[in-house]
Structure 1
Amino acid sequence: MAVITFTSDFGYTDHYVAAVKASILSLQPQATIVDISHGIEPFNIPQAEYVIGAAFREFPEGTVHLVAVDTHGCKRGKYHAAKYRGHYFLMADNGLLSLITDGEPDVVVEIQADPELLPFPAKNLLAPAALFLAKGGDIDVLGERTTQFKQLMNRQLRLNDHSITGHVIHVDRYGNLITNITRDSVDTIAHGRTYTIHFGRETVGRVYPTYTQVDDGDCCCMYNSLGQLCIGINKGNAAELLGLGFDSQVDVRFYPGN
């Protein structure tokens, strides 16, 4: 049986996470359920997209990702099961699917929902569907195929010969600012040129391997394991100390010569 991951905005103080897991384990006690995060801020679709997008590829193909973020966010009460790059996803029709898949899932079905299940859809609708897929069930049994699901767009980089403009797409629990500027985009534009990185009132002229390469309290930039440019303060909270957060602009400027 495939692994089931579970991500939600339920937090850690209520019974909601346990109730969803119990609904799966009561049907299949041997089910493997892996928590990605339950600390997503309530209804925060961009945060959920980043956290799930950063993690799901680490799991084997066939993994089923149960996503209970903003589960009542759709007035139409639509819920989808989707397949993308060998993984399955179950979630409300709130735009998150389009962000995770860049609008191009391989298969999407609208899950047929009894209105009596909707007061707690993660437990009563999405969890049984996740178990069904994890046991090898055919996604088409869950509902009719559709191409109609809410579309949102990820932030796009602005690139020209002399600069890249990006934005902060996630702030982690350490206050590190993770941007949508990638190592590949910088290398593609740089062609060996020097560059500086600008954010808020700060300018940084070097990317370090880790934050510990600078003194405690100093600001620096590095690439994370996903190749994304990050801004942090060694032993400090960059978001608080720099006054930056989600969607803050970050620029990389290139200069002639080496």
Structure 2
Amino acid sequence: MAIITLTTDFGYKDHFVGTVKGAILSNLPEVTIVDISHAISPFNIQECAYILKNAYRSFPMGTVHVVGVDSEWSPENQHIVVQVDGHYFVSSNSGVISLITSEVKPEKIVEINLPNAESGSFPVLNIFVQVACHIARGGKLEVIGRNFDDLKELREFEPRIINNGKSISGNVIYIDNYGNVVTNIQKGLFEAYRNGRDYEIIARTTKIKKVHHSYNGIINYDLDRSQRMGPGDALALFNSAGYIELAIYKSDLNSVGGASSLLGLNYRDTVTINFL
């Protein structure tokens, strides 16, 4: 079964998503199209990479992933296909692939070169659809491009070990639909430096002294309801991708606010863990 996924910053107001899906189905009626996200912040490469990096492994080997963020061609933003980890990514050379493949070496990279094709202002439709359908049919990469070895490198923010190993300084790398704040501090790094010590997580003026494994881990069900922590309280947890995330339990970003607004945190802001 052929699968093509779509990750874009197109949103849903305009015709772009529907047009791309229609073109794919016209080329390959039997394909399964899966939307990963169309709500990437415009041109936000790091946000796109975080979402796609944590989604693609759930798909079967051979899945084709179309990346429609900052996709307009230029001499410094070529159109490429990257085969990595058994998957195919059709994208521009914007740096998004280097962030996705930071832990896995690509098996093959080609620069797309379709005869008589003009990408114009809508390359996802005019170029990427043709390429994705070709690959989904089992077509060879050599037919649609030539080998490419100039993959643009972007580096993710790396957490730093400071204060002689007594602190980890990290950054906000993603804010989700609930306003939850994802840091770049992964569980493995946290556990490696904790060594059984108590700790506190500091995010601006907020201090949190426990990391949970679920959102409702904040609730002590042995206590009376009137004594429990619950909706509106701040918590930290290891999210499903293995990163430390800060949240406000059962908050609504569009009404009372989420962790990003209530804790005053934005992309790239610092979050520190002090071991006591």
What TM-score do the two structures reach when normalised by structure 1?
Answer: 0.94
Matches within 5 A, 1:77-116: 78-102=78-102, 104-113=105-114, 114=116, 116=118
Match of 1:209 among 213, 231, 242: 213
Maintained 8 Å contact 1:5/1:34: yes
> 1:122 aligned to 2:143?
no
The corresponding residue for 2:239 is 224
Aligned residue for 1:26, secondary structure, equals helix
Structure 1 unmatched ranges of 5 or more: none
Partner amino acid for 2:268? D
Aligned partner of 1:70 in structure 2 is: 70
The answer to whether the Cα contact below 8 Å between 1:6 and 1:35 also exists between their aligned partners in 2 is yes
Match of 2:254?
none
CA–CA distance in structure 2, aligned partners of residues 177 and 230 of structure 1: 5
Q: Distance in 1 between matches of 2:48 and 2:206?
A: 28
Residues 133/210 of structure 1: CA separation in 2 closer, same or farther (3 Å cut): same
Q: Which residue in the other structure is 2:170 paired with?
A: 166
Please report how far the alpha carbon of residue 149 of structure 1 lies from its aligned counterpart in structure 2 after TM superposition.
Answer: 2.3
1:234 aligns with 2:266: no
Q: Secondary structure at the match of 1:46?
A: helix
Say yes or no: does 1:243 pair with 2:264: yes
Which residue of the partner structure matches residue 275 of structure 2? 254
Counterpart AA for 1:139: L
Residues 36-84 of structure 1: CA distance to partner in whole angstroms, max 9, x if unpaired?
Answer: 0001111111110111011001111111101111112745451000111
2:58 aligns to what? 58
1:93, 1:185 → 2: CA distance? 30
Moved more, 96-105 or 192-201: 96-105
Give 1:150-165 correspondences, 5 Å limit.
Answer: 150-160=152-162, 161-165=165-169
The number of residues matched between the two structures is 255
Q: Structure 2 length normalisation: TM-score?
A: 0.88
Q: CA deviation at 1:86?
A: 0.7
Q: Which runs of 4+ in 1 moved over 6 A?
A: none
> Where does the alignment leave 5 or more consecutive residues of structure 2 unmatched?
219-228, 252-257
Distance 2:125 2:237 in 1: 40
Q: Report deviation, 1:216.
A: 1.5
Segment drifting more, 120-129 vs 64-73: 64-73
SS in 1 for 2:47: helix
Residue 2 of structure 2 is matched in structure 1 by: 2
Q: 1:250 to 1:106 in 2, by over 3 A?
A: same
Equivalent in the alignment of 1:133? 135
Three-state SS of the structure 2 residue aligned to 1:19 is helix
